[in-house]
Amino acid sequence: MSSLITVKEAAKRLSLSESKVYRMTMTGELYSKRLGRAVRIPEESIQTLASLPKSDTEILFKGGKQ
């Protein structure tokens, strides 16, 4: 089972703002779980996103398709 991390930690690992990580969880670009009011992200999701080719992550982080 993958450990769950906070949005703040995910943002730090991905070099993104916390608000961008929250938006990515809301749109489904980044899988997350809600525990009450808290949002937690499986570490496995971060590793999957970090392993994508640079061209794919640029499109994803900009928030759109080209």
Query: Are the C-beta atoms of residues 15 and 61 closer than 8 Å to each other?
Result: no
Residue 14 has pLDDT above 70, yes or no: yes
Q: How many CB atoms sit inside 10 A of residue 21's CB?
A: 25
Question: What is the pTM (predicted TM-score) of this model?
Answer: 0.74
Domain of residue 21, CATH code = 1.10.1660
Residue 61 has pLDDT above 80, yes or no: no
Number of domains present in the structure of the chain: 1
pLDDT in tens, 16-52: 999 999 999 999 889 999 999 999 999 999 988 888 7
Tell me, rounded to whole angstroms, the distance of Cα 38 from its chain centroid.
15
Residue 55 has pLDDT above 70, yes or no: no
Range of the structural domain that residue 29 is part of: 4-62
